Every structure is written in C-alpha cells, then in structure tokens.
A and B are shown apart, each in its own frame.
Chain A
C-alpha cells in the first residue's frame, strides 16, 4: 500500500450526461513508469486534472504518498511532491529560460515572499535551476527568451521545470507531443533514466515511446480503465486491440 506514490480510488467525474471518468482506480508505484493510453476523448486529460488538482472529482479519492489530497489545491499538491508537465507548454514566454526554471526552484524552496533581494543573486536557487537545465541540455540557451525556443526545446524546458521541484512523482501529459523522431528518441532515453529518481505517470500518444518505456500500461476508453498490465499483456489483450490498437494498426 505505502508503495503507491499516487493512487486514485474510484474517481468519477461527469460532464452532463458524459461520464469522463467512470470509477477509475489506478496507482503509481516507486521506480516505475505507468503509461495511460487511450483514444482521443477517452478522458485522459480529465483524469490528469483530477490527479493534479485542477478539477474536483464527483466521487472518489486521490492519494499522494498514502495521504488523501482530494480536497487540496493544485499548489498544495505540488508542494506535496507532484511534478507536472503540460501537453501544451505552460511557460512564461516573455521570460528567459533560466527565469522559468528559477520559478520552479523558488516554488520548491517555498520562499517567494522576498521583495528586496535580487533573485539572480540567490546562489542556491540558481544552482538548483541550472542543474535542471544542465540535465535536459538547455544550459547554453539559459539567457534566451523562452518564446524564441523551438518547440522541442520548450518540451525539454517543461521537463526541466518539473525537475527543479525534485518531486516524489512526475505526471507528464504527452511530453512527446509534436516532437520529431529524433527528439522523441532523446526524450525517451531521458525519461528511461528518470524513473529511478521518481516514478512517472505518463499520458502519451506515441506508442513507440510507451512500449519502450512503460513498466505497466493502463488503457482508458470512454472514461473506464478496460485493462492494466505489462506491455506484453496489453499488446495481446483482445479488448484493447479492438478498442484502440486495432484502429491504429
């Protein structure tokens, strides 16, 4: 039980007559990458929002490290160790790359209420921020305005901001979205090593990446988890083939 870093218990969410989440119970264990796949409109984003705090479930619970966080805000969940990346980059585009990771480092430090001292002069924040940039390979771009980054670099920066939080778990919403084959391969390699630091709940459309990375896969269709299992189990599952993979292959 205590192995579950993230756990949802019977999460249900309806929008009118549409059941976007139907009694979803999933978990994320230490050291693993758990991928959630499913066709468009299956309710993956709705699920992510409920785990991260943007959306309250109608019923059910979200647990983080065994603690019920269902009533907590997004910010409170982040402080409890949830590191999230967005499908569509949510970065401060007017700011430099370094400033974006500094924001993460400051959030992790929990000390934004300093009005007088210069943030660039805070060595511990800078070291933390630059270490994250170094890991994703954006150190040379640190003084560039974020809006000038390429799409792929923005994806890397998304990951870097999450790294500065040193979270207990990552929740990544389509980190590969819009990356070319090369970028996708690089990021796959990076995430492969990242699971040792903290487990990753990964929502992804790129099946090559999912099959290469996932320890477990859950398949979400019309708001329900229709199967959870290893890569091989999912590949050979008849329901999954029919509902999802069949359409693609």
Chain B
C-alpha cells in the first residue's frame, strides 16, 4: 500500500513535470501530448470505476466519450456560428463557456449511462460486453448520419472554449485545466473506494450472492457505478474535443472503447492510478513508435500480451503486488 502511494505520487509528479519542462524548453507539442495523456487518463478513470470496481466490462464507453464531445461540439457550434439552438420549448444561443459545457456533458452522459445501464445490466459476461458495444455503435452511426452537425466530417470549432480567468489557447493553461480535472476525478475515485458504497460495489463484483444475502441489490449498486463512470468519461470527451477543437463520429468508435480498456489493463484493473500509467504509456508509445512505423500497434499488442500473461494486475500490480487491503 505504501509503495503504491509513492508510485502514485511519482506518476502524477511526472505527468506534471513533463509539460512544465516542455514549457521551459519551449516545446508546445510535448505539452499537447501530456494534455492528451491526461484526458485519456480521465476517460479511463471513469471506465475503471465500472470495470475495475464494478466488474462491468463495458466495451461501449466511447458512447459517453462521444456524448461529451458532441455536447461541446453542438453548444460551441451554435455559439460560433450565431445560429440559435431551437430546443422546441426554448431557444438557446449555444455557449463557449467550458463550465457550462462540462455540466451539459456530464449530465448528458450520465443520463445515457443510466439508460444504457438499465438495459445492459440485465445481462452479464460476454452479453454485457456485446450490448454495450452495440449501444456505442448506434451512437456512432447516428453521428455519421447527423447532417446538421457535419455527419461524417464532424464539427470544427475554430477557437477553444473559454474558462474564466484563463487563456485556454495557451497550451500549458489548458493542460492545467485537464490535469486538475484528472486530480479531482482521482480524488473522487479514492473517496468512493473507501466509502460504504465502494465496499458494497467491490463485494458485488466478487460475490453478488453475498451482497444479496446481506440485503443489498448488487445490480443497483452496479448501475450507480456505471452512471458515475459514464459521467466522468463524458467529461473527458468534452475536454478531448476542446483539445482538438474538433468533434467527429470517431469519438464514438469502438476503437476508442477498446483503447480505454487497453489502457486500464496495461496500468492495472481496479488500481487507482492504473488508468494514468496506462494512458501515459499509451501516448508515449504512440508518439515514439508511431514516429518510427505506422504499425506501432503491433508493439502495443505485444506489450499488452506480456502484461496479461506475466503481470496480472497490470504494471501497478507487477510493481506493488495484488490489489486489496493491507
């Protein structure tokens, strides 16, 4: 446990130090890479709550990532083009304000997670994997055919959205926003795991029948975890869209759902910092190996294979021992 705390602190310090160093030596692209890692980590922190603690192998978290992205895209699209958004009951000008966009992204993805979870949690195992995938693909094809918002081409957002008191176009400032969001999500995650709900959820994953015999409903516990999970991944989607200043149906694609799972497995399933380590490794490999060859996924696959075969519990498991108390 103590060892893991040190590792966790070192990881966060490293993720903060790299962009700061890049700022000093004036390499803005490196700051963008670190921002990308922080956002992917945030998305995977969300997934890890469902996957790592709830035991829910969601192969459809791209749905929430994409909903977060499109929340940003649609609101900013209307604001930048001065086309009011007619919601039927009210007309809205759209917005370029990040806090409002985040709120919408979180609420929309939480609502989607509630509906998807209600239906998907009637199944388990492989069926759960497939049904979550199917839901995400429905969003994907819907986005492709949604001509008003660019269809397959997506929505370009010309200027990054605003955050009070900051200039979000300065890479290090936008990194700061994403890094703080990640820290808050990790804090929430840590509190959650130590809470009564976290204990019950953890047991619901391991022995649902035991949870029932103490009078709790394991499915309901998992549903709440799934909603929180979707909401956090949705927030990451909104930030990701702002990083690229572009939203497209690819945010809904199953590749992204798969990547998030890979990140968590690499770092460590059900480990607080598993997603962060996984995301940092993923972005680093993508950058370095991707510069050498377009087939860098082969190397990623080999590493993933190694971790699954020889380091159950991911790299954090390898370094700090199996999960669990004491």
A residues with a Cβ closer than 8 A to B are 52-54, 73-76, 78-79, 82-84, 86, 90-96, 99-100, 102-104, 106-108, 110-120, 122, 125, 143-145, 161, 164-165
Contact = CB atoms under 8 A, between A and B. Distances in A.
Interface stretch (B206-214, B251-259, B275-283): B206-214
B217 interface: yes
B199 A94 contact: no
Contacts of B195: 114-119
A119 B198 CA distance: 9
B209 A90 contact: yes
A76 to B, nearest CB: 8
Nearest to A74: B212
A73 B217 contact: yes
B196 interface: yes
List the 4 shortest-distance A-B pairs measured between CB atoms, nearest first: A107-B214, A78-B215, A79-B215, A74-B212
B200 A95 contact: no
A145 B326 contact: yes
B214 A115 contact: no
B326 A102 contact: no
B229 interface: no
B324 A54 contact: no
Given A94-B206, A96-B325, A145-B325, A115 B213 contact: no
Contacts of B191: 115-116, 118
B210 A161 contact: yes
Given A112-B197, A145-B326, A91 B210 contact: yes
Given A113-B197, A116-B191, A99 B215 contact: no
A108 B192 CA distance: 20
A156 to B, nearest CB: 15
Contact of A143 (B200, B213, B224, B325): B325
Contacts, number: 121
B272 to A, nearest CB: 15
Nearest to B217: A75
A92 B206 contact: yes
27 contacts: A53-B212, A74-B213, A78-B212, A78-B215, A79-B215, A86-B210, A86-B213, A90-B209, A94-B202, A94-B206, A95-B202, A96-B326, A99-B325, A100-B203, A102-B199, A103-B200, A106-B196, A107-B214, A107-B216, A112-B200, A114-B196, A114-B197, A115-B191, A117-B195, A118-B194, A120-B194, A165-B214
A154 B323 CA distance: 20
A73 B214 CA distance: 12
B221 A52 contact: no
Contacts of A54: 209
Given A95-B206, A106-B214, A145 B324 contact: yes
Interface in B176-229: 191-192, 194-200, 202-203, 206-207, 209-217, 221, 224
Nearest to A85: B213
B216 A75 contact: yes
Contacts of B323: 94
A103 B195 CA distance: 11
A111 B215 contact: no
Contacts of B214: 78, 103-104, 106-108, 161, 164-165
Nearest to A116: B191
A80 B179 CA distance: 47
A95 B279 CA distance: 27
A107 B210 CA distance: 10
B207 to A, nearest CB: 5
A90 B207 contact: yes
Contacts of B198: 115, 119
A163 B325 CA distance: 23
Contacts of B196: 106, 111-114, 117, 119, 122, 125
Given A103-B199, A145-B326, A108 B215 contact: yes
Contacts of A112: 196-197, 200, 216, 221
B206 to A, nearest CB: 4
A54 B212 CA distance: 10
Given A90-B213, A95-B203, A113-B224, 9 more contacts: A52-B213, A53-B212, A91-B210, A112-B196, A114-B195, A115-B192, A118-B191, A145-B324, A161-B214
Nearest to A96: B325
